[in-house]
Chains A and B, each alone.
Chain A
Amino acid sequence: MRTAFFRALTELAERDERVHLVVGDLGFGVVETFAKRFPNRFVNAGVAEQNMTGIAAGMALSGKIVFTYSIANFPILRCLEQVRNDVCYHNANVKIVAVGGGLAYGSLGATHHATEDLAILRSLPRMVVVAPGDPAETEEATHAIAAHDGPAYLRLGRAGEANVHEGQIDFQLGTAIQLGSGKDFTLISTGGLLETGLQVIAMLDREGLRGRVLSMHTLKPLDETAVLAAARQTNAIFTLEEHSVVGGLGGAVSEFLAESGEMPMAFKRFGVPSAFSSIIGSQEYLRAQHGLSADRVAEGIRSVLEKSRSAAVAATD
């Protein structure tokens, strides 16, 4: 995703001289190309995220489109008030990019686990929140947030993820991408777990459980139409995110559904518990430990669907 982001950013910078990149002294091996190519539109603010974000707001209020870039929680939580007041309140044209969303820096410990970012950013007025599912979505998302006049947050995974989508995708901010059309359940995924989501669908399909995936790359504004359609067309809704179960995708979908009058027969959130992980390990290892591997998610869905079926049978007896 990181590579796709920089490819798109470079294209944008070539076309539009307003595009600037401000980094917090991170991005070794990836920011240099941009910096060399557009020296007058690159700033390394140093290890100083509050100032980085304030600078970005000041530049944006002077007519620039400014991308800030750092890893995990650094460009958002360290400087959250700058994000809220300087960027969002002033509707500054700043795009905050964090690489290492979720458990990508799992081995580094809980300081580097970005597992509350979506919940926090989603609550900020004017902030568009995007967590693309693969490199193809990342590239499109980068162009889309640049075209959007106002604050946005782009949560990336790491480098080297596989493309999940085949061929061109129709990407629009706030519009989920549906994959598959099974009617037994919908698995709504955000961010880099999209690939896992598709594996889950394939596994359960072999058992006769037909599901579909909604890639909810834009968490805010949430594609309520797609969630509503899923609630009407399928029997159960599940959410999948590499994020706390509090306030992220699961939170957004359940808030909407609870007020929609269209509650599905079954609903469950797959995510990270609201706790500091005491386990150290790679992203893959930690996903499995937190029940986010394809096996564990499939098992969870199977169990919920069985329960809701038995309940339905009991009700008709």
Chain B
Amino acid sequence: MIKDKAVQSENGAGMRPEWLAKRIRLATLRMICNARSSHVGSGFSMAELLAVLYARILRVDAKNPEWAERDRFVLSKGHACAPLYAVLAERGFFPREWLEEFYVDGGRLAGHATHVGVPGVEISTGSLGHGLPIACGMALAGKRDGSPHRIFALLSDGECDEGSNWEAALFAGHHKLDNLIVIIDYNKIQSLGTVAEVLQLEPFAAKWQAFGWAVREIDGHNLEEIEGVLKKVPLEKDKPACVIAHTIKGKGVSFMENKLLWHYRSPDADEMAKALAELGAGE
């Protein structure tokens, strides 16, 4: 069902982030509609982040996903795994047809990020607050081994409620893990309300700074800004990097943008048709 014309690239080098972001959104929409599952809004807010990571930043090899010196990408917001599966398929980690097996009985791709049998998924997540501590361990191991690889962890804003993240934030700052990069998809909406209503994170950047991190705030939908900051890591020597990406939940589909509803709602046929048109399907 993923029918758009595409140029398959094996190393990401030939991929334009803009094109990849579009592909991610279309595939995510189709997967979620097909499965009648949730989190389309959470997926759309991070499409540009994933697109830049997989087209321009991550040193990974789809033909050798276990390559020891690969950069590690840990998707800690495991509920938004549809776009991760989509980008991995585009990058050739597994066939695009697998995306049709998302969240279906006996399918290959589970509804929260799952590594079992899925090349390219480093860590199974879904319970929030697990990704960053694991990423810290990977970063510490990399440092001690003198390995050049980097560890990228993508977190949601809501999951920053979890205390485990702040344990890890203390640890990474203390141990000067400058091979660790946290990207926060700060779309400002979590499960039952806005971040400001549920549990205020502000002053957010100041918190990370106070924990010893080099912090940058960017527009998480601006491809140049994303690439610019991620190409510069480590942002400061001896400091882990925290990129707070200001994003819009449901970005790309007008009736989904900034709407809490689309954390959980699965689009019906009519909504899907409208969304596909807005996302430029078939163009």
Contact = CB atoms under 8 A, between A and B. Distances in A.
Nearest to A81: B127
A50 B168 CA distance: 9
Interface string A274-290: 00000000000000000
A5 to B, nearest CB: 22
Per DSSP, chain A at the interface is helix
Contacts of A60: 137
A51 B133 contact: yes
A269 to B, nearest CB: 34
A53 B164 CA distance: 10
A40 B138 CA distance: 15
B115 A45 contact: no
A62 interface: yes
A51 B138 contact: no
Interface string A57-84: 1111111100000000000000001100
A221 B124 CA distance: 25
B142 to A, nearest CB: 7
Interface string A195-225: 0000000000000000000000000000000
B130 A54 contact: yes
A266 interface: no
B195 interface: no
A257 to B, nearest CB: 34
A146 interface: no
Interface residues of A, number: 26
Interface stretch (A85-93, A179-187, A233-241, A295-303): A85-93
Interface string A36-64: 00001101011010110111111111111
A115 to B, nearest CB: 26
A45 B135 CA distance: 14
A57 B171 contact: no
B144 interface: yes
A48 B165 CA distance: 11
Given A46-B170, A64-B141, A54 B124 contact: no
A56 B137 contact: yes
B124 to A, nearest CB: 6
B37 to A, nearest CB: 21
Interface in B131-174: 132-142, 144-145, 163-164, 167-168, 170-171, 174
A62 B142 contact: yes
B235 interface: no
A40 B36 CA distance: 49
Given A50-B163, A50-B167, A90-B115, A43 B138 contact: no
Given A50-B133, A58-B133, 19 more contacts: A40-B144, A46-B174, A50-B163, A51-B136, A51-B164, A51-B168, A51-B170, A54-B132, A54-B136, A54-B137, A55-B133, A55-B137, A58-B137, A58-B139, A59-B138, A60-B137, A62-B145, A85-B127, A90-B123
5 contacts: A43-B140, A54-B168, A58-B134, A58-B135, A58-B139
Report the 5 A-B pairs with minimum CB-CB distance, sorted nearest first.
A58-B137, A54-B133, A62-B141, A51-B167, A55-B137
